[in-house]
Structure 1
Amino acid sequence: MWDSKNTALEDNLEFIHINASANMKRIRCFLLLSWILSFSLAAQEGNISPIPSPRELGERLGLLKGIERIEALESEHFKEKYLVYVTQQVDPKNPAAGTFGQRVVVAHAGFDRPTVIVTEGYGGAYAQSSRYQDEVAKLLNANLVHVEHRYFLESVPDPLDWDYLTTENAAYDLHHVTETFKQVYSGKWISTGISKGGQTAILYRAWFPDDVDVSVPYVAPLNRSVEDGRHEPFLRKAGNRAERARILDFQKEVLKHRFAMLPLLETFCKEKELTFRMSPDEVLDYCVLEYPFAFWQWGTAVHTVPAPDADDETLFSHLVRIAGPDYFASNQDMGAFFVQAAREMGYYGYDTKPLRKLLSIESSAGYLKRFMLPESAGDIPFSAALMYDKVYNYLKENDPKMILIYGETDPWSAVRVPDFKGKKNMQIYIAPRGSHSTRIRTMPEKTREKIIRQLNEWTGD
């Protein structure tokens, strides 16, 4: 299950858009204008490295080339915080393809501190919240550069052409952002991201190995096909036998009550204004098939699974809380993710055998392309060479300073980065019974302390 609503660290923040007040904007504009005039000759030459030393971050940002706009934000954790839009090439290898503005949030801890670049895999609106903090940035008392992924929310090229949504182009975006803000922050740089953002942190390192000093990808999968095939066997062994039996019993009970479930599903989808490219029966089937994956992904407590004799409303309420139909809706806003999954990032399939007699569908094969890929994207062929081979070969042949965090029962751990032999710097940590919400802070105490010591050693603290 895609997890754009769950990638923010610390607080499960709602998307919040924060704008500076009119007075703040006037003051900022005056300050920026003063500094820009003071250093206009240097700016015209295009070689402002290092930038002259105004004392405030906002003043330095105003001197950077390729920044479309700057807005002050409030923060509970940083001295200064700004929303900026960085001009990016739609096609880094062909300027004629045009440009777009990429949303970036910059938060200031100190010019002498390391800098964490968050390689977000989805939209980045949540980073504008005054409460937002990244775990690695907090541990290192570091500056923060949070980059929204291309083709999500406010970082979408116009016109939209799916051909330019590639992991290589996303890596070039991050490279340009890093080069830009290294003019402000010259210390150690650390990349980090969660789930698809963790994938992005790894592939960024594969494309530009020297951009950052350290990488900390969380729960990052490395799929090798659209329906990888390793998730289903993993789920057949997740937890213990009693837990797996209770999950399967729940799935069967929902399908046995199909005629009671369908009216509840129809009402639910109507209230949420969800539309689908499949029938209501198929929607119910796919929610039930998705249930075990989502259950283990988010570490659901087994005791919350309704008993087989629970009433219809209880069964349905639990199902949609864990594996809701919005995931399969054609009008959800995750089309860009499914384009990437279909083209190069890969995904997972479903094991229909245990439920075959109760399902309305004969097969779930190809479900992502049939039901979830934007119709405007057309037929997208998958190529493992575009990401899997690139990343796998880089990690196998090199030993980057990288800490990879996984959860033991998270289905995405089925396709985690492998344990390559002879690696000193590449370190993989798996939290016992950990889920997709596994973080450094949720690791066992000794493991957590070891990770923090290593990060401090690598960053010079």
Structure 2
Amino acid sequence: MKYFRLTFSFLALLLAGLAVAGATELYDRLIALKGVVSVEELDKGFFEERYVVMFDQPLDHKNPSKGHFEQRFVVAHAGFDRPTVIVTEGYGGARALNPRYREELSSRLGANQIFVEHRYFGESTPSPRNWDYLNAENAAADLHAVRQALAAVYPEKWVGTGVSKGGENSLIYRMYYPQDVDVTVAYVGPICFGVEDGRHEPFLERVGTAEERAAIREFQTEVLKRRKELVPLFDEYCKSKGYEFRTNIDEVFDLCVLEYPFSIWQWGTAVSVIPASDSPHQELLDHLTATVSPDYFAVSEEPSFFVQAQRELGYYGYDTAPFEGLLSIKNAKGYLPRILLPDDARRIRFSDALSRKITAFYKTNDPKVICIYGQNDPWSAAMLDTTAFDGKQNMKLIVEPGGSHRARIKTQSDEVQNQIWKTIEGWLFGI
């Protein structure tokens, strides 16, 4: 009798588990996909169902024998008969777990949303962390593998999209796999040609009005003039936060001051919030650290972005000439590999082959792509070559007047928004 009861209890638990697993058609289809390791239900939020999926990927898609890792992606389900938006994220995927997260494309189109966390970020980090396999081609192949796995689940049209590094990622993905998506909407995605690209510094010398630039320069100069008083306060602040650096605190202070105008313009901060030059020391420091957090230059447990920047994505430099005699450093050349890279990535050397390949692809092809940038965003200095849009029937370039890195479809004028949605919906639905 005891054996019967145990067996009955086991069967009851097993059947209960099967009932949960078979609760929805979508769950059953996801868990059955080749490569899927696990499927976990999430709060459905704005969708009918949502799941976080762990998916097996090769470290090197050209040589799977090199090993595997698990990549996280989030499935937000609107309907099997709806289009699907694939978010080509450039970083970690924690924000996609939020039940309120929904891309504007997914909302407008009533679309399914597949958010793919980038390899070497968040829960998609291989162990051990071998930097050899962190490159754009492998990242695009990751997206392709997810797309192929979900092809039968979501057979309608697909839209690729991403923001910033994710925007660049969407362009790279479209280049490597042009048939995977029907439409690409890339937001503020830069294409850089060097670790210190060289176009951002002159951009900062002409962006905005002369009065705005003067206010920014005045703040930088005043902060540097007060370095004797401010650096000890800055050091105390960094220690209180537990930040550790690969250089001395004076250089970190200098770099924060040099980064300041880039951050102001990138995020569209009004110059009216800049403290007056005669403000107390602490007020100046508080504004500086609120605009440029020193942890940007701190040792990070996840330096993956800077490894990619050093290898092929590129980045920007700083012009130190206007502050000669006020800085503790002679110049900022080579700051990224010296300060932001871990020791095991120092051997990586930059190649502009990827950026040249991207540019060549979009110059010689005309996929259904919309690129959106903000006029005042320093990253727009490295926007996709504008000549790639010349004479094209499909490719569209939108530059938001006075816009920042926050430029989206919803931030455009009503007229431009209507034009964009009419184009996208025409491509997808023939409207």
What is the TM-score when the length of structure 1 is the normalising length? 0.88
Alpha-carbon distance in structure 2 between the residues aligned to 1:26 and 1:257: 70
Q: Hey, what's the Cα distance between the residues in 1 that align with 2:428 and 2:417? A: 17
The equivalent residue for 1:402 is: 369
User: Deviation of residue 29 (structure 1)?
Assistant: 4.3
Deviates more, 1:56-65 or 1:278-287: 56-65
Q: Deviations over 1:176-213 (max 9, x none)?
A: 00001112000000000000000100001111111110
Do structure 1's residue 284 and structure 2's residue 253 form an aligned pair?
A: yes
Verify the 8 A CA contact 2:266 2:378 in the aligned structure 1: yes
- Alpha-carbon shift at residue 27 of structure 1 (Å): 8.6
1:371 aligns with 2:325: no
Q: Which residue of 334, 350, 355 corresponds with 1:388?
A: 355
Residues 1:203 and 2:172 are matched in the alignment? yes
2-side partners of 1:26 and 1:366: how far apart? 60
Q: CA deviation at 1:32?
A: 6.9
Cα distance in 1 for partners of 2:65, 2:191 equals: 33
Which structure 2 segments of 5+ residues have no match? Answer: 1-12
- In the alignment, which of 200, 220, 224 is matched to residue 189 of structure 2? 220
Aligned to 2:161: 192
Which of 96, 120, 125 is the matching residue for 2:65?
96
Distance 1:26 1:324 in 2: 51
Q: 1:238 aligns with which of 185, 207, 219?
A: 207
Does 1:30 pair with 2:24?
Answer: no
C-alpha deviation, 1:76, in angstroms: 2.2
User: What one-letter code is carried by the residue in structure 1 that aligns with 2:335?
Assistant: Y
Q: Distance in 2 between matches of 1:363 and 1:280?
A: 16
CA contact (8 A) 1:83 1:103 kept: yes
Larger Rg: 2
Distance 1:302 1:85, change over 3 A: same
- Alignment partner of 1:270 is 2:239: yes
1:55-99 Cα deviation digits (max 9, x unpaired): 631121122111000000003210000000110000111121111
Instruction: Decide whether aligned partners of structure 1 residues 183 and 318 sit closer, same or farther in structure 2, where only a CA change above 3 A counts.
Output: same
Counterpart for residue 45 of structure 1? none
Q: Which runs of 4+ in 1 moved over 3 A?
A: 25-29, 31-34
Paired position in structure 2 for 1:305: 274
Q: Is the 8 A contact 1:73 1:128 kept in 2?
A: yes
Match of 1:319 among 276, 288, 292: 288
How far apart, CA to CA, are the structure 2 residues paired with 1:395 and 1:117? 20
Contact residue 337 and residue 346 of structure 2 kept, 8 A: no
Under a length normalisation based on structure 2, what TM-score does the superposition of the two structures give?
A: 0.94
Pick the aligned partner of 1:137 from 79, 83, 106.
Answer: 106
Matches within 5 A, 1:49-60: 56-60=25-29
Percentage identity across paired residues of the two chains: 50
SS in 2 for 1:68: strand
Q: Deviations over 1:347-370 (max 9, x none)?
A: 000011111121110010000000
Do 1:32 and 1:59's aligned partners in 2 also have CA atoms closer than 8 Å?
Answer: no
- AA at the equivalent of 1:391: I
Structure 1 residue 169: deviation in Å?
A: 0.4
1:194-253 deviations in Å (ceiling 9; x for gaps): 000001000011111111100001000000111000001100001100000000000001
C-alpha distance in structure 1 between counterparts of 2:206 and 2:17, whole Å? 59
Q: Is the 8 A contact 1:81 1:107 kept in 2?
A: yes
